[in-house]
Amino acid sequence: MSDWIGLMFFALLIVAAWAGLRVVSRPTSRTEADHERNVAESYSKLGAGVNALQDALNPEAARSKEVIAQMKDGRYQKKKQEGKSGGNMDEPDDVR
């Protein structure tokens, strides 16, 4: 009789582990705002140091990040366009 009890215990343990793993592995639906908030909260000092080191070693990557941020904000190359007065933007000044 004790063999059956032990066998049932292990069977119940396996079924419970399988059911628990199914519940844990179920994907959760998250919005982009939730993802951005979690990323901002989990930014560690080590990650910040590695990013700063990467920017120092590869300045082109740092500039590209800056340009991407400016393009998202809609302010990329605004200063260059505001300085020109009159004429076509595509023509150089000496062609007129």
| 3-47 residue pLDDT tens | 899 999 999 999 999 999 999 988 878 888 887 787 777 667 777
> Comparing 93 with 50, which gets the higher pLDDT?
50
| 50-76 residue pLDDT tens | 877 887 888 888 788 888 888 888 887
Question: Residue 82's pLDDT is what?
Answer: 56
Kindly list the distances between the CA atom of residue 64 and the CA atoms of 14, 49, 71, in Å, as whole numbers in the listed order.
52, 19, 10
- For residue 91, the tally of other CB atoms under 10 A from its CB is 9
Which run of H or of E encompasses 82? Answer: helix 78-83
CA distance 84 to 70: 20
